[in-house]
Amino acid sequence: MNTPMPYRRSGCSGILLPEISLGLWHNFGRNDSRETCRDIIARALELGICHFDLADNYGPPPGSAESRMGDLLSQEFRHHRDEMFLSTKAGHLMWPGPYGDWGSRKHLLAGLDQSLRRLKVDYVDVFYSHRPDPQTPLEETMGALVHAVRSGKALYVGLSKYPPELFHRACAILREEKVPCLLHQFRYNLLDRSCEKGILPALTEEHTGAIVFSPLAQGMLTGKYLSESGDVPVLPADSRAARQDSVFLTPEQVQKQTRLVRSLNILAREAGMPLTQLALRWLLRKPEITSVLIGARTVKQIEECARAAGCPPLPADLLEAIDALSGGE
Ligand SMILES: NC(=O)c1ccc[n+]([C@@H]2O[C@H](COP(=O)([O-])OP(=O)(O)OC[C@H]3O[C@@H](n4cnc5c(N)ncnc54)[C@H](OP(=O)(O)O)[C@@H]3O)[C@@H](O)[C@H]2O)c1
């Protein structure tokens, strides 16, 4: 294990995030084992993973990941609150009617209040606008984030999935209010490099930290779906693609990526490391990535992911071979 966990600074701010952070999008819902959730959080803290990422709609059902975390925080980890860096978000569908979704001031601030109640905390460390709203004026959505900070319910604000131009405009509004956008969340992994020519350079310009989600492409980049031979994937019983309660990774998506994942897996083997390590260390090669936000269903998974932190940079010839397969910058 490469301990202690290295921490990276987010832009020009006091936020220091572990190279590997833990997201609770999956595996912390109502039907997941409380004991396993507790063991994962406890092991994460031991490994120096102090950042836990939530959103109001995480579960399933929506809200249940925050309720689970609130239960664990109040029952088991109360004395660790100041060591933890907790984030939540609002902006996806949560309740019926015109205020249950998107980016109005009403939705964001009601959503934040609900999150605080479920999490049983007075404040979160970061509150995000979970996605841009094409209908609501940007000034209103940013105004809600500013209010969250001024009312003491969030310490910092962030954005998620904003395209570059909108992101720059949002940053300008927030800067004017002296509540800067310090984190931006977006997808980045070996199967999806679209951010390299889009949001990533924009973040550098704005001095905003990058926290990248689905670094293992929801598990595909662990090699777990590869069969011994042929391009027909296997679906391990507990895996995300096999679970009935997860609609975000389908067997068809897995099938589509099998050939590329197989080639990357061969590269990883030749380099003497598991594909999981290759995928995470490849993201950490970039100093502008503040943190790589993984999901974990078991303690073993979080231990394996944490091993990618603090490793030496991948050699140049390996990076070139990866570019040749997955499309360079
Ligand atoms: N802002 C946004 O809109 C947004 C969107 C998506 C995600 N996120 C954030 O990003 C976080 C991570 O996303 P993600 O869950 O897609 O990340 P991911 O790390 O790409 O995928 C996590 C899944 O990979 C598998 N896995 C992880 N480590 C493994 C290991 N060592 N060996 C084998 N399998 C392993 C597990 O799947 P199995 O269950 O198959 O074992 C795990 O549930 C979320 O929890 C959330 O906080 C944010």
Q: What is the pLDDT of residues 23-37, one digit of tens each?
A: 999 999 999 999 999
In the predicted model, what is the mean pLDDT of residues 91-113? 98
- Asked whether the predicted pLDDT for residue 329 surpasses 90, the reply is no
For residue 26, report the distance from its CA to the centre of ligand 1, in Å: 7
Decide: 69 in ligand 1 pocket, CB within 6 A.
no
Burial readout 49-76 (b: 16 or more C-beta within 10 A, e: otherwise): bbbbbbbbbbbbebbbbbbbbbbbbeee
Average pLDDT over residues 115-140: 98
Which residues, 6 or more positions from 317, have their beta carbon under 8 angstroms from its beta carbon? none
CB of 283 closer than 6 angstroms to any ligand 1 atom: no
Report pLDDT for 233.
Answer: 87
pLDDT at 47 over 90: yes
pLDDT at 195 over 80: yes
Q: Is 192 in the pocket of ligand 1 (CB under 6 A)?
A: no
pLDDT of residue 1: 42
- Which of 92, 211, 218 to mutate for ligand 1's pocket (most ligand atoms within 8 Å of CB)? 218
> To test the ligand 1 pocket, which listed residue (247, 297, 307) has its Cβ within 8 A of the most ligand atoms?
297
Mutate to test the pocket of ligand 1, among 85, 216, 292, 304 (most ligand atoms within 8 A of CB): 216
Say how far apart CA 248 and CA 178 lie, in whole Å: 37
7-219+275-316 has CATH 3.20.20.100 classification: yes
Q: Which pLDDT band holds residue 3 (cuts at 50, 70, 90)?
A: low
For residue 289, the model assigns a pLDDT of 97
In the structure encoding, which two tokens stand for residue 54, read together? 């939530």
Over range 179-186, report the average pLDDT.
98
- Name the residue with tokens 């999935």: 161
Q: What is the pLDDT of residues 237-264, one digit of tens each?
A: 999 999 877 789 999 999 999 999 999 9
> Which pLDDT score is estimated for 246?
76
Q: Residue-wise over 290-305: b if at least 16 C-beta within 10 A, else e?
A: bbbbbbbbeeebbbbb
pLDDT of 232 reads: 80
Q: Are strands 289-294 and 20-23 parallel, antiparallel or unpaired?
A: parallel
d(CA 192, CA 216): 10
Mutate to test the pocket of ligand 1, among 89, 294, 298 (most ligand atoms within 8 A of CB): 294
**2 confidence band (pLDDT: 50, 70, 90):** very low
Atom 33 of ligand 1 has which residue's CA nearest to it? 222
Ligand 1 binding pocket mutation candidate from 159, 250, 293, 300 (most atoms within 8 A of CB): 293
Query: 27: Cβ below 6 Å to ligand 1?
Result: yes
**Mean pLDDT (the chain, rounded):** 96
Residue 222 CB less than 6 A away from ligand 1:
yes
295: Cβ below 6 Å to ligand 1?
yes
The domain limits of the chain are 7-219+275-316
The residue contributing the CA closest to ligand 1 atom 41 is 239
Distance CA 173, CA 162 (A): 14
Residue pair 225/261 in contact by the 8 Å Cβ criterion: yes
If you measure from the C-alpha of residue 240 to the centroid of ligand 1, how many angstroms do you get, rounded to a whole number? Answer: 9
For the Cβ of 185 lying below 6 angstroms from any atom of ligand 1, the answer is: yes
Q: What is the pLDDT of residue 328?
A: 66
DSSP label of 135: S
CA of 62 to the centre of ligand 1 (A): 17
Instruction: Give the per-residue pLDDT at 166.
Output: 98
Compute the distance from residue 249 Cα to the ligand 1 centre, in Å. 11
Q: What is the pLDDT of residues 296-325, one digit of tens each?
A: 999 999 999 999 999 999 999 999 999 999
